[in-house]
Amino acid sequence: MNVVLDTNALMMPVECNVRVLDELDRLLGNQRLVIPESVREELVKLSDGAGEEAKAASVGLDLSERCELRATEAEYADDAVVELAQADDVTHVVTNDGPLKQRLHDAGVSVISLRGQNKLGITN
């Protein structure tokens, strides 16, 4: 079972106080984490700055080391996530991005997002 994570999912530990990997284990059990190359590139750019966003991106970069990196035709991170989400081996996408969640729902993809203060939940 492959789960795609977007940029803000990888930044959730700092921004939302969510233990993303623990929550995914709780919800799904054993899974393979996948990110598009453009998500990793976005985290690198964001981590170069200062402040809370840069800190969250640095943590996200560390978490991305536990993910399989995949190339996509799409260069923009959200488009790349949607592209990967439609692969046969992907079961869910983790994101808190409202417009991206809507695109994924429209494409029939199961989305995992923040539910409550620091828990994740699945929406279909």
Residue 25: both structure tokens together: 């284990």
Q: Say if residue 1's pLDDT is above 90.
A: no
**Domain range holding 40?**
2-123
pLDDT score recorded for residue 118: 85
- DSSP characters for 13-72? HHHT---HHHHHHHHHSS-EEEEEHHHHHHHHHHHTS-SHHHHHHHHHHHHHTTSEEE--
Tens of pLDDT, residue by residue over 66-100, are 999 999 999 999 999 999 999 888 999 999 999 99
- Domains in the chain, number: 1
Instruction: Give the residue with greater pLDDT, 124 vs 34.
Output: 34
Rounded to two decimals, what is the model's pTM? 0.94
CATH of the domain at 98: 3.40.50.1010
pLDDT score recorded for residue 116: 82
Decide if 1 contacts 28 (C-beta within 8 A): yes
Could you give the CA distance from residue 59 to residue 114 in angstroms, rounded to a whole number?
Answer: 18
Please state, rounded to an integer, the average pLDDT across all residues of the chain. Answer: 94
pLDDT score recorded for residue 88: 85
Q: Which residue type is seen at 55? A: K
Residue 22: both structure tokens together: 């623990």
